[in-house]
Amino acid sequence: GTIRLADYRPYPFEVTQVALLFRLAPGATRVRARLDLVPRQPGAPLRLDGEELRLISAAIDGEALGGNDYLLTETGLTIHAAALPEAPFTLETEVEIAPEANTALEGLYMSKGMYCTQCEAEGFRKITFYPDRPDVMAPFQVRIEGDLPVLLSNGNPVAQGPGWAEWHDPWPKPAYLFALVAGDLVAHPGSFTTASGREVTLNIWVRPGDEDRCGFAMEALKRSMRWDETAYGREYDLDIFNIVAVDDFNMGAMENKGLNIFNSKWVLASPETATDSDFERIEAIIAHEYFHNWTGNRITCRDWFQLCLKEGLTVFRDQSFTAEMRLGPVKRIEDVILLRARQFREDQGPLAHPPRPDHYKEINNFYTVTVYEKGAEIVGMLKRLVGDAGYRAALDLYFDRHDGQACTIEDWLKVFEDASGRDLAQFKHWYVEAGTPRLRVSEDWAEERLTLTFEQSTPPSPGQMEKAPRHIPIAVGLLSPNGDEVVPTTVLEMTEARQSFCFEGLATRPVASILRDFSAPVILERAQNGAERAFLLAHDTDPFNRWEAGNALARACLMEMAEGAGPDGAYLDALGPVLADAALDPAFRALCLRLPSEDELAQALHAAGKIPDPDAIHAARAALMRAIAQRHEAALSEIYAAMAVPGPYQPDAEPAGRRALRLAALALLSKLDGGARARALFAEAQNMTESFGALSALIALGAAEAETAAFRTRWQGDRLVMDKWFMAQLAYCPPGLAAGLARDLAEDPLFDWKNPNRFRALMGGLSANHAGFHDRSGAGYQFYADWLIRLDPVNPQTAARMSTAFETWRRFDPGRQALVRDELDRIAATTGLSRDLSEMVQRLRG
């Protein structure tokens, strides 16, 4: 059934204490739970969630329940009111579960001989009978018995002996933050002293052999802990902080209290096996999970509709952290690239939903770029509206007022209203309405006055036909014709459907730089010619808009090329000064050389009322790369030579930026040299960044046979590197080869499809090959659907998540649409389809 926000009711009992005992065994683990309960609504039955549990016994205040006292179903246990005391009481249950049979990787499961858990959002109900909802918060005591050397749970260690350990988490928490890990693990140790002098033991737990790949993550953790103290005044609150790396994991990582569990991909790193972008992501994800300790754990969500309360805020916090650790403007541009490529795409398709949805069937389907990344943009807009000091005051109030509570978006907005005195009623639309606003701007110049007139409109989305005007912060600056800034960045607040803003007393007509720093997640529609864009690319003082001007030039050029035009000479000219400007950061120049993706171009063509042709888009992009290389061959060769980084590899932003620029030059030059430089680099590379960059360039040329084989021979024993091998061959190969190659790779003995990383590498690689996935034969669609159907009974969460590859299908021609529709129908008609995948397919069919 459908779960609705409007149906929220408080839980009729308070849980004051939880004690759990685990007797671990792969096929038959016993879980005993003792819950101390206080009735809050006389006469209410006690309803506990529970799935796939074998009930052994249940007792209240020591008395076994009789068959008439309760009702046991597939989804839970209800104890009738008549069987319940009116005063506080204790419920004891014992259940049996089978972690080794758990392939869905939700609840308690096994990964390479080690026990681990994933409880968010609703996995705890697969461990024991419990009110599995985030507004029920309680302190947990856990005893683990099992014949394994390392036995971990949340909170502080209390006592341990051979084959057992006890943990106590004093901070009341919802069940989704529960975690247990048991295995033959080794620790990479560390320690941290908090601002107030508390000594915290740190550990990163990995399987033996991986301990030398934890150093970077450990240092990132310490930087995160320090940053949360200085930027938000938040200290860590336990004696120990453990991180565990597991190979089989549905998502990136999980913020369980005091015991974060990570996909090993986002912990383990060495120069030989991880790329610069892996290092950056690891730092960001370590920070993200750590930051959840305050934004998520100490203050959690009242219900799952409020997910973006913790996720949007925590993403905003990790983005701010990375911006300070590395190059702020470059980080901002990267975040906006991701937002537009993935969130704008979601917002414009059949899966569009508000950052705070009001109904769902399966909450796991709502861990989306809209909840996370758009959620973060909304926090960024709030900060822009109230200013840095206002933001800090609002956050201080939030922690003060709501520590220990399970909150809503309304609570969150209220602290901003109370701290700043502003009315945010209109601003709230950002949370409760789907869709990306279109913001059209026109200019008028008269009598030393520049008038900017904005018009906003948000297209309909599923279930929401009418959209109210949004409160939009629009950061604007004005430049004189010689490039001086005559009006520094000013935030205009748009609240009407149509609104004008004037700048007076200007001697000459300035050039407006609009939506600086991407101050709102909107699509800016501005009639602007190439010369103005080239001017902003050369002179804008706002780094985001400087990059954006070049990006808009490239996008316009590619859209015309996809419809048969040749490369735009003005765009090629405008790139020259950027390439040559040694004062510009290499990482920034690398971004300027990065063309919009094929998927983004399809999105832009669709938005312009055209039917995108994937083959034409692919050809246009390849042709523009060749044209850039031809026009700027000398400058690119010079960059390629000058950006080589001498000495041992360091993952820091500065050398990483140089490598990024060098590899961007390589990808272009390889269109001219037949891959000679890339082949040489592949042969001599001492780190994965360069090795993988060279391999990718060769794959794109269709000339990587020897290198692909050599890479496999060298790395076949390394699961994380082999994921890259599967992904890159499909994502970058000539599109005509993609579907056939996917079939071949699925036959490779190393294609362990039950491992989510490996599955995502192969299927994600195929769907990232835009023209390959959308091949007019339908071979890409069919292969992809076959595998979703096969994975669904094993791991519904990952199958459902991967189905988003189909979300753009309505952009394309009737032939492709019919092919996708057939595949969606075929999936929908599969018997026993999971709730996860059936909800997705139903929404995708629209």
Letters for 706-725 (x = contact with ligand ARG by CB under 6 A, - = none) are --------------------
Q: How far is CA 303 from CA 17, 82, 309, in A?
A: 21, 28, 10
CB of 127 to ligand ARG, least distance (A): 14
CB of 120 to Zn ion, least distance (A): 9
Nearest-approach distance from CB 205 to ligand ARG, in angstroms: 18
Strands (E) located in 61-135: 63-64, 70-72, 76-79, 89-97, 107-111, 114-118
SS3 of 40, please? coil
* Interface pattern 591-630 for ligand ARG (x via CB under 6 A): ----------------------------------------
Of 309 and 441, nearer to ligand ARG (C-beta) is: 309
- Among ligand ARG, Zn ion, none, the one that 628 touches (CB under a kind-dependent 5 to 8 A) is none
Sheet holding 449-457, edge to edge: 498-503, 449-457, 438-446, 523-526
Least gap, CB of 7 to ligand ARG (angstroms): 21
The first and second tokens of residue 405, run together, are: 């509570």
Of the candidates 131, 235, 233, the one whose C-alpha atom is nearest the C-alpha of residue 173 is 131
Q: Give me the torsion for CA of 74, 801, 153, 395, rounded to 10°.
A: -110
Nearest-angstrom CA–CA distance, 72 and 84:
16
Q: Which H/E stretch holds residue 530?
A: helix 530-539
Q: Which residues contact 574 (CB under 8 A, 6 or more apart)?
A: 530, 533, 534, 537, 538, 550, 553
250 touches ligand ARG (CB under 6 A) = yes
Q: Which of 53, 254, 514, 627 binds ligand ARG (CB under 6 A)?
A: 254
Count of CB atoms situated within 10 Å of the CB of 444? 11
Q: Taking contact as CB under 5 A, which single stretch among the options 214-222, 304-312, 629-637, 782-790 is the one that binds Zn ion? A: 304-312
Neighbours of 443 (CB within 10 A): 16
Part of the chain binding Zn ion (CB under 5 A), chosen from 110-118, 306-314, 655-663, 770-778: 306-314
State how far Cα 731 lies from the chain centre. 19
Place of tokens 């290198």: 707
What are the backbone dihedrals phi and psi of residue 439, each rounded to the nearest 5 degrees, phi first? -120, 110
Whichever of 65 and 246 has its CB closer to Zn ion, that residue is 246
Which tokens sit at 484?
């001086």
Q: Cβ of residue 123: shortest distance to ligand ARG, in angstroms?
A: 7
For residue 253, the minimal CB distance to ligand ARG (Å) is 5
Q: Counting beta carbons within 10 angstroms of the beta carbon of residue 312, is it exposed (0 to 12), middle (13 to 18) or buried (19 or more)?
A: buried
Q: Decide if residue 367 touches ligand ARG (CB under 6 A).
A: yes
Query: Judged by CB under 6 A, does residue 364 bind ligand ARG?
Result: yes
In angstroms, the CA 153 to CA 259 distance is 7
Q: What does 254 interact with, of ligand ARG, Zn ion, none (CB < 5 to 8 A by kind)?
A: ligand ARG
122 is catalytic: no
Residue among 441 and 840 whose Cβ is closer to ligand ARG: 840
Of residues 707-766, which lie at the interface with Zn ion (CB under 5 A)? none
141 vs 293, beta carbon nearer Zn ion: 293
CB of 796 to ligand ARG, least distance (A): 11
Judge contact between 390 and 420, C-beta under 8 A.
Answer: yes
202 binds, among Zn ion, ligand ARG, none (CB under 5 to 8 A by kind): none
Q: Does 311 bind ligand ARG (CB under 6 A)?
A: yes
Residue 121 sits in the site that holds ligand ARG (CB under 6 A):
yes
By a kind-dependent CB cut-off of 5 to 8 A, residue 441 interacts, out of Zn ion, ligand ARG, none, with none
Residue 251 interaction partner, one of Zn ion, ligand ARG, none, beta carbon < 5-8 Å per kind: ligand ARG
Nearer CB in complex with ligand ARG: 51/823:
51
Residue 253 engages ligand ARG in binding (rule: CB under 6 A):
yes
Binding to Zn ion (CB under 5 A): which residues in 308-337? Answer: 311, 314
Mapped onto helix, strand or coil, the DSSP state of residue 3 is strand
Is 689 a binding residue for ligand ARG by CB under 6 A? The answer is no
Cβ nearer to ligand ARG, comparing 93 with 153: 153
Per the omega criterion (within 30 degrees of 0), is the bond before 28 cis?
A: no
Q: Does 289 bind ligand ARG (CB under 6 A)?
A: yes
**Binding of ligand ARG by 120 (CB under 6 A):** yes
Report the nearest approach of ligand ARG to the CB of residue 142 (Å): 20
Contacts (CB under 6 A) with ligand ARG, residues 181-240:
none
Q: Which of 253, 248, 257 is nearest to 267 (CA)?
A: 253
Given the rule CB under 6 A, which of 118-126, 437-445, 600-608, 814-822 is the region that contacts ligand ARG? 118-126
The kind and range of the H/E element at 661 are helix 653-673
| Between 118 and 436, CB nearer to ligand ARG | 118
The binding track of 745-784 with respect to ligand ARG, each residue x by CB under 6 A or -, is ----------------------------------------
Q: Least CB distance from residue 293 to ligand ARG, whole Å?
A: 12
Nearest approach in angstroms of CB 251 to ligand ARG is 4
- Which residue in the set 255, 548, 707, 723 belongs to the binding site for ligand ARG (CB under 6 A)? 255
State the Cα angle at 367 between 284 and 260, rounded to 5°: 45
C-alpha–C-alpha distance, residues 846 and 842, integer Å: 6
Paired tokens of 535: 């001017």
**Residue 739 contact partner, candidates Zn ion, ligand ARG, none, CB within 5 to 8 A by sort of partner:** none
Nearest to 323 by CA among 333, 313, 310: 333
Instruction: Pick the binder of ligand ARG from 97, 108, 251, 385 (CB under 6 A).
Output: 251
456 close to 497: Cβ distance less than 8 angstroms: yes
Instruction: Give, in order, the Cα–Cα distances in Å from 42 to each of 38, 45, 81.
Output: 10, 9, 9
CB 107 within 8 A of CB 39: no
Of 795-814, binders to ligand ARG (CB under 6 A) are 797
Residue in the structure block whose two tokens are 């007022």: 401
| 318 scored as a contact of ligand ARG (CB under 6 A) | no
Q: Which is nearer to ligand ARG, 351 or 678 (CB)?
A: 351
CA nearest to 523, candidates 609, 429, 597, 440:
440
Catalytic residue among 106, 280, 289, 373: 289
Cβ count within 10 A of residue 551: 24
DSSP element (H, E) containing 190: strand 186-193
Total number of residues binding ligand ARG (CB under 6 A)? 14
Alpha carbon distance 624, 736 (integer Å): 19
Q: How far is the CB of 292 from Zn ion (least distance, A)?
A: 6
Give the single-character DSSP code of 339: I
Residues near Zn ion (CB under 5 A) are 311, 314
Active site residues: 289
Residues near ligand ARG (CB under 6 A) are 118, 120-121, 250-251, 253-255, 288-289, 311, 364, 367, 797
